[in-house]
């Protein structure tokens, strides 16, 4: 029985990774897709559970991709059972989307000395959810779409306050954006050098994700960033995903054109994902931890305003 259980767990990682690899081979960064859809500008949000709680990590990418492929605009998702519990009914013939849940089980083994030891083994569970656009009979508020932003200036000010509250040292000057671990500061080109305010916020979100790496924050090891191309590409993938997650949270439409220095990472990302089917899951998890840390630095009032936005 245990041997049979192994294949589905492998398939989850492999199947999702293969989908992302297929997009990358076409030159498309799948985590940037939602912002390229006509008519949705200013209405991008994270996918939400039926309780209003945002999905995190790899599930954000999965449900963004599903919404894009199937034309869903509602941000809310729920299981068949959850829909029924609140009076809804999934329409006949509708197919759901797969989301994943990390879990673990304890296995008792015998070590080399003959002693029994317990070992925690992580694995993924999957379950199926349906978008509200596939369900009839739900209370009206479940069909709410994110409002189109009519006053983008106020949303950018909101983003400025967000980064100010992180306490990160942000310096401006030069033509490059980067995080300098030695001096623990973020370097940004002058605001005026960006084509618009949204692009500035997207790049700053990327660098702020890097800024979370030191051990006294979330603790990602950057010691080999300048020595190993693979390590560098992995960290850049984390920062790309972190920027997308954070832009969605802040209601800012990020840059659609890849930064020149990141275009060179495309082939590296492909190699990493093809060699390691868990790499995209790990990158999404690291990105989520980084963004959660940045949110944790915000005062309670700002957090409440953001949730209401």
> How many angstroms separate the CA atoms of 67 and 98, rounded?
12
Composition of the chain by helix, strand, coil, percent to 5: 50, 15, 35
Q: Among the residues of 26-103, which ranges form H helices? A: 58-70, 80-85
> How many angstroms separate the CA atoms of 237 and 119, rounded?
31
Q: Check whether 308 has a pLDDT greater than 60.
A: no
CB 24 within 8 A of CB 270: yes
Side-chain-side CA neighbours of 296 within 13 Å: the count stands at 9
CA 163, 165, 168, 174 torsion-angle sign: positive
> How many angstroms separate the CA atoms of 15 and 245, rounded?
22
> What's the pLDDT tens digit per position in 6-40?
444 446 788 888 888 888 888 777 777 655 555 45
Q: Ramachandran region of residue 289, left (φ > 0), alpha (ψ -120 to 50) or beta?
A: alpha
First to last CA, the chain: 48
CB 43 within 8 A of CB 157: no
Q: How distant, in Å, are the alpha carbons of 33, 58, 163, 285 from that of 63?
A: 11, 9, 27, 15
| Contact residues for 69 (Cβ-Cβ < 8 A; gap 6+) | none
> What's the pLDDT tens digit per position in 228-261?
989 999 999 999 999 999 998 998 876 555 566 6
159-182 core/surface letters (b: 16 or more CB in 10 A; e: else): beebbeebebeeeeeeeebebeee
Query: Across the chain, what does the average pLDDT equal?
Result: 83
> What's the pLDDT tens digit per position in 51-88?
989 999 999 999 988 887 788 878 899 999 999 999 99
DSSP state at residue 33 = G
> How many angstroms separate the CA atoms of 224 and 232, rounded?
7
């Amino acid at each position: 029985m245990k041997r049979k259980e192994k294949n589905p767990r492998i398939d989850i990682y492999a199947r999702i990774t293969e989908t992302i690899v297929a997009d990358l081979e076409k030159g498309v960064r799948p985590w940037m897709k939602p912002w390229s859809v006509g008519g949705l500008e200013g209405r991008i949000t994270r996918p939400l559970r039926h309780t209003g709680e945002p999905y995190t990590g790899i599930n954000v990418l999965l449900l963004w991709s599903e919404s894009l492929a199937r034309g869903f605009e509602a941000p809310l998702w729920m299981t068949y059972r959850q829909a029924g519990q609140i009076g809804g009914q999934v329409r006949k013939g509708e197919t759901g989307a797969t989301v994943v849940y990390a879990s673990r089980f304890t296995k008792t083994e015998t070590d080399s000395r003959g002693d029994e030891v317990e070992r925690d083994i992580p694995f993924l569970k999957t379950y199926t959810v349906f978008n509200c656009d596939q369900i009839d009979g739900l209370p009206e508020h479940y069909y709410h779409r994110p409002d189109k932003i009519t006053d983008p200036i106020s949303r950018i000010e909101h983003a400025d306050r967000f980064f100010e509250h992180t306490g990160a040292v942000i310096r401006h000057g030069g033509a490059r954006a980067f995080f300098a671990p030695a001096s623990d500061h973020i370097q940004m080109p002058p605001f005026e050098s960006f084509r618009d305010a949204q692009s500035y916020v997207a790049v700053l979100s990327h660098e702020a994700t890097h800024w979370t790496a030191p051990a006294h924050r979330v603790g990602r090891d950057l010691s080999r960033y300048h020595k190993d191309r693979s390590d560098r590409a992995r960290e850049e993938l984390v920062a790309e995903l972190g920027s997308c997650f954070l832009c969605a949270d802040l209601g800012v439409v990020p840059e659609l054109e890849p930064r020149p220095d990141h275009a060179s990472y495309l082939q590296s990302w492909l190699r990493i994902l093809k060699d390691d089917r868990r790499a995209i899951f790990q990158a999404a998890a690291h990105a989520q931890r980084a963004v959660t840390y940045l949110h944790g630095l915000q005062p309670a009032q700002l957090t409440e305003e953001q949730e209401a936005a």
